[in-house]
Structures are given as structure tokens and as C-alpha cells.
Structure 1
Amino acid sequence: GVLTGAGLALAAGAGRPALAVAAPLAATVWAYDLALKHTPAGPAAMAAARGLDLLLGAAATGGGTRAALPSAALLGTHTLAVTAVSRRETTGGSVLAPLAALATTGVLTRLVTHRRTRLPAGRRAAAAPGLPGSTPAGVLATALGAAYAATAARPYFHAALNPSPPLTQRAVGGGIRATVPLQAALTARTGAVTTSLLIAALAPAGRLFARRAGMRKVSIT
């Protein structure tokens, strides 16, 4: 409760748009923790929280939430797929969830690497003319999109072939780690190359944490 209050206070300090996103985000997180986590609505609630979290960052930095809606939707879709797989990470036995996550990864990779995102006004004027993806930001987004696919797709595929608890847990871990290059790719699509690279630099830390978690025989979640 204290942390929620502090977060809402900070959001209020950033302005009304940020508070307008922070309030439903806090409500979604509490609803997930207290009631929805172990229900069929759990994955959707987690996906909504991740999408709102991205929108909160956009609102707090003055970028506006409308331009960030496509990225929030893509991140929320990825989160929905990962969370659906995680429902069976201790028991295994589900082929449909990792297959759906694998298909989702393919669609998201296509959208991130081939669909142009409308740049904010300040960056739009500075963007060099050329073919889609020919700018440094476009090239970086394509590379990070490929990294996202490589991180998530292989463990999903293995879990679909053999949905045992260990492989399902690896699929969940791969999906969680893939969030880093996905967010970096989404950031690159806005033209924020430096910020995108900083986010991508977190990927090695995620792999190190996953390796240590595996040594302790606990899930990355």
C-alpha cells in the first residue's frame, strides 16, 4: 500500500496524464495479486499491467500516450503469451500455450521489424528520408527484433514438442528474457537509438540471472 501510494504521488507530480495512467495501473496490479492471478483472467490482467506500465512511461516523459498505444499493445500481447505458458510451468502437459506463444512471437517479430512506427514530432523532422528500415533506428529495430525472436522462439518450440515442466519453465524464462530486446526494438522504432541500446544492454543481466536461477533449480518467475 505504501509503495502504491508513493507511486501515485510521483505520477501526480509528473502531471495529470501520468496520474490518469498510474491509477488504473495500480488497480490492475492489485486486482491481479489479490484476485485474478490464479483465474483464467490472470494472463489478460498481467498483459494489461505491462501495457499500462509502458503508457505510464510515455505519459510521465511528456511523449503522450496516443503515440505509445501500438507499442503498448505489442508488449501486452507478448506478456499475454508468456503468462499463458507460465500457467503450466510446474505441471507441464500443455501443447497449445507454447504453440500459441510461438505464433505470437512470429507475428510480433514481423510487426516490429517491418512496420514503421510514427515518430514523435521532434524526431520526425530530423529523420532522414529513405526506405523503411534504412535509417540507423530502423536497422537497430530490425536487429533487435531478430534478437527477440531468437530468444523466445526456440524454447517455445521445444516446449511445444515436449511440454514437460522443465522445458515449459525454459519457455517461460525465454519469454521473459525476450521482453528486453522487444522493448529495445519498440524504443528504436521511435527513433530513440541511445535509449534503445541502453535497454538492450540489460539482456546479459537477464541471461546471468536465468543461469543462476537454473543452478538453484527455481523458476525465473
Structure 2
Amino acid sequence: MSRPAAPARHTPGATGPTAADGTTAADGTALAGIPAPRTGRAGAWAELLRLPALFTVPGDALAGAAATGARPGPRTLLAIGASLCLYEAGMALNDWADRAEDAAERPHRPLPSGRIRPAAALTAAGALTGAGLALAAGAGRPALAVATPLAATVWAYDLALKHTPAGPAAMATARALDLLLGAAATGGGTRAALPSAALLGTHTLAVTAVSRRETTGGSVLAPLAALATTGALTRLVTHRRTRPPAGRRAAAAPGLPGPGPAGPPARTTGVLTAALGAAYAATAARPYAHAALNPSPPLTQRAVGGGIRATIPLQAALTARSGSAGTALLVAALIPAGRMFARRAGMRKVSIT
């Protein structure tokens, strides 16, 4: 069965291409006559799991930890590990669920090309889900209580909700739960992190809404709504900063900075939050505006890519907003680290979704 105008496939947490030159579509197939990359077995798994996308994940847990007022510790590291595993489980399950349509429409993907067997992808999804839940359990019962619905959302999205109107909301829920996982693991509760989770989920909802038309184009409303959402989120992040609660700071793990005994000066975190908020707006707004003016597939795909790239500065801004300047800088450092990894791995033209 062939559907030339089939909707794009999506996985919780990553909704489109991030290659700066826009040479690949969200499914990894070629654009403008450029062939999909040919790789060996290791490269096929890297393509299936969209390894460069992993750099958008740790910031969820770190932003959640910052929202509780606690410094990131060993349990935060376990939450990050759980998030990475569940994220990759969703990637593998995504391709397994779409293997039939990929055989007709995306033959270069790892499963239809025969580089990876469908059974292996499904096994990997199950194993990664189990590993993610085990790591969450190691971080404590509150973390496991969040990781369980997160895993269920990932599987429900890939197997049932992806092509339904509930798809964008499911993806937004997955991102929000991922941030709450970091809060639950670090501080034992999630209430303080709910505002940050809502902001991150709203951003994900907007990006996903745009991505629904990235292969066909023609949608002016979605990028306009995403542009307005970006402006609203930027204002909320930069003008409603909160200080971390007193008396809720645990010892930091080696290499993970956090606020000092009294936290960084409000002026410092305020300036940093504003700068990171501006970086978020600049990354997302321009491609959204271009897609609104000309909703062609290439510009819509670039808008989705810009929205995904904006996730990290948004995570960093949310972290700084909570008073954790050091951790915010650590999250922001994931931006050049991800680009360097993709360049050295030769994956600049491989979609992360």
C-alpha cells in the first residue's frame, strides 16, 4: 500500500528532523534526490535509535530536579538513565509499529531495508523499557510511580495514538512526565515541578502539531499557533521565575553542579534565565515564522527541526528559572555536545526521528 502524502511518523520527545541543511525528512528518507545513508550494522542501530536525539533527554530530569529546589544527586542520574532507556524504547518501537508502511514508503529505513530484523527491534524496545523501569525503581518509589505511566504513554502512542487526534497530547504528556520523573527521583515529589512540566509539555504539543503536516505542508495555522506559543512560553519562563525552596537540597553527585547553600544571587539567575529564554525564542520563532509565510514541506520540516532544537534551551531556561544556574549551564552545554556528536558520527543527514 502506497500513500504519497502519508503523515509523518513521530516518537515521544522527538517530532521531526534537526539536520541544519534539511536534507532528510522526518522518516529518514531522502529529499531533493539525496539518498538515505548506507551504514553497517552499528550504523543501522544508531539510525534506528536516533542517537543524536539523546542529547535532548537529560535536560528533562535536570529541570525537574531544579524545580524541587534539590541539587541533582545519584538518584537524578538514575532518573536520567531511565529517561534515556524509555526514550530509546520508543524509538525502536516506533519503527517496529510502522514497518509495514515503511516497506512501501520508506524502504531505506533499517527495518524494511533488512539491516535490522523487526523481532530485534521489538525485543530492544521491550528490553529498554524494562531497563528504564528498573533504573527508575532504583531511584525510589516516587520515581517508579512516574516512570510507569511514562512507559505506558510511550507504548500507547507508538501502537495506537500516533495517527489519531490524541497523538500530539500524548507526546506532550510523555515530555511532561519525563520532567516529573527527575523531580520525583531527586526531591521525592512532583508538585513543585508541575509548572515546569506544563511549560515543556506545551512546547512539545506545539512542535508536534506542526509536525503533523511536515510531509505535505499547506498548514498556516499550526506554525502560527506554535509561534504564538513560543512567545507566550518565553514570557512565562523569563517573567515568572521562582527561587528554590529552602531546606530541600541534597548532596550533589560529582560533576553535577547546583545551587550553593543559599543559592546563586537572584540577579545572576535572572540574567541567565533571560538569556536562555531569548535563545529558546530565537531558535524556535524564526523557522515557525517562515513556515507560516510559506507552508511548504521543506519549510515546515525546518520549523519542526527548529522546535526540537529549541527544547534544550527551554530546559536550560526552566532550570535557571528555578535558581540552579550551574545546572542550567550544564543543560545548555548539551547543544554543542549534540552537534559535535552528530558531526563526528557522520549523522548530520540522518533524521533523529
TM-superposition CA deviations, 1:134-171 (whole Å, max 9, x none): 99999111110000000000000000000000000000
The 2-side partners of 1:10 and 1:132 are apart by: 22
Q: What's the C-alpha RMSD, in Å, of the aligned pairs?
A: 5.1
- Equivalent pairs counted in the alignment come to 221
Give 1:94's match in structure 2, choosing from 197, 200, 219. 219
Q: Secondary structure of the residue that 2:204 maps to in structure 1?
A: helix
Write the distance in 2 (CA, Å) between the matches of 1:95 and 1:208.
33
1:10 aligned onto 2:135: yes
How big is the shift at 1:85?
A: 0.5
Task: Show CA shifts across 1:172-209 (max 9, x none).
Answer: 00000000000000001111111100110112245567
Q: Is the 8 A contact 1:12 1:18 kept in 2?
A: yes
In terms of mean alpha carbon deviation, does 45-54 or 7-16 score higher? 7-16
User: 1:123 aligns to what?
Assistant: 248
Identity over aligned pairs, percent: 91
2-structure distance, mates of 1:188, 1:203: 16
State how far apart, in whole Å, the 2-side matches of 1:106 and 1:176 are: 16
Q: 1:205 to 1:168 in 2, by over 3 A?
A: farther
Q: Which runs of 5+ in 1 are unaligned?
A: none
Contact 2:257 2:326 in 1 (8 A): no
The CA deviation at 1:40 is 1.0
1:173–1:220 contact (8 Å) kept in structure 2: no
Shift of the 10–135 alpha-carbon distance from structure 1 to 2, 3 Å rule, reads: closer
Given the superposition, is the C-alpha separation of residues 153 and 132 from structure 1 closer, same or farther in structure 2, using an over 3 Å criterion?
A: farther
Q: Deviations over 1:44-65 (max 9, x none)?
A: 0000000000000111112521
CA contact (8 A) 1:85 1:97 kept: yes
After superposition, give the CA deviation of every residue in 1:57-97 in whole Å (9 maximum; x if it has no partner): 11111252111100000000000000110111111010010
Q: CA deviation at 1:102?
A: 0.2
Shift of 1:11: 1.2
| Deviation for aligned residue 1:116 | 2.3
Q: Quote how far apart the aligned CAs of 1:113 are.
A: 0.6
What's the secondary structure of 1:19's corresponding residue?
helix
1:109 touches 1:149 (CA, 8 Å); kept in 2? yes
Task: Give the secondary structure class of the aligned counterpart of 1:137.
Answer: coil
Contact persistence 1:25–1:52 (CA under 8 A): yes
SS at match of 1:142: helix
Cα distance, 1:117 vs structure 2? 2.1
Is the 2:258–2:326 Cα contact (8 Å) retained in structure 1? no
After superposition, what is the alpha-carbon deviation per residue over 1:120-146, rounded to whole angstroms, capped at 9, x for unaligned? 324799999999999999911111000
More helix by share: 1
**Normalising by structure 2, what TM-score?**
0.56
Is the 1:141–1:186 contact (alpha carbons within 8 Å) kept by the matching residues of 2?
yes
1:179–1:65 CA distance, 2 compared to 1 (3 A): same
Q: Which runs of 5+ in 2 are unaligned?
A: 1-125, 264-270
Does the 8 Å CA contact 2:259/2:323 hold for their aligned counterparts?
A: no
